[in-house]
Amino acid sequence: MIELSLNNSWIIGLIINSILIIFAFIVPKRLLTPLGYVNAWVLGVIVWGTLSWQGYAVVMFYFLVGSGVTKIGMAQKEAAGIAEKRSGMRGPENVWGSALIATFCALGTLLVNAPWTSLLLLGYVASFSTKLSDTTASEVGKAYGKRTFLITTLKPVAPGTEGAISLEGTLAGIAASVVIALVGYGVGLINLMGIVYCIIAAFIATNLESVIGATLQENLDWMTNEIVNIINTFIGAMVAILLAWLMMNTISM
């Protein structure tokens, strides 16, 4: 595991994210709205300030791959009326819907000591592993799912229905969770068992998110996609942390 220290991380985070946001506003093709970029700047500064380049690598990987995934089959999804709004361009609500739990985990590492630091790092990676899994499963399922079922009844439904799942989307979601967990391992935020915890947590959380979408989201006006995303990533982070905590206590007995 890496040792994290503040040093000049906050200053470096301010500089790097300021340069990136200027570049983002200059290039013609934008992945975020103007307010989305401002909020992403805040997120980036917090992540670099707390977890240095290692944490930043994970969030950037999620952002780039997640944005790319939303473009899969865009013409087909737009024609069917099930594409992400703004052609997949993200706003501030999307930034925090995806990264709020990870941000809390990152900030939490400043307040605790081992073994809680490693558990929060695991939660950080697991939350993004969960979100990328959910995004990939949804977008691939809408674009390429041959048979789509409602998770609560397993009855066939149209692609894009809240709570719908497909074999293609599910497999793609698992693959996405594996990849981002490997990124977290590659930069030293989690160990090998952490990869396993992230994959299990992402699978559980993604399917529970589908259950929430099929039940509560359809009946509660305040439960937006962003709120569901926060719940989804919270479940993913907590499941991974709980698995690791139980394993540590089992070994120590």
Of 229, 248, 140, 236, nearest to 181 (Cα)? 236
Q: At what angle do helices 167-186 and 116-144 cross, to 10 degrees?
A: 150
pTM for this predicted structure: 0.91
Say what the pLDDT of residue 213 is. Answer: 87
Q: pLDDT band for position 2 (50/70/90)?
A: very low
Read off the pLDDT of residues 63-119 as tens digits, 9 standing for 90 and up. 999 988 888 876 565 655 555 565 557 789 999 999 999 999 999 999 999 889 999
Read off the pLDDT of residues 190-219 as tens digits, 9 standing for 90 and up. 999 999 999 999 999 999 999 998 898 878
The contacts of residue 197 (CB under 8 Å, 6+ apart) are 122, 126, 190, 239, 240, 243, 244
Q: How confident is the model over 170-186, as a mean pLDDT?
A: 97
Amino acid letter for position 32: L
Sign of the torsion formed by the C-alpha atoms of 208, 214, 218 and 220? negative
Say what the pLDDT of residue 112 is. Answer: 93
Say what the pLDDT of residue 81 is. Answer: 59
Report the C-alpha dihedral over residues 137, 203, 219, 161, rounded to 10 degrees: 20
pLDDT at 28 over 90: no
What number of other Cβ atoms are within 10 A of residue 127's Cβ?
34
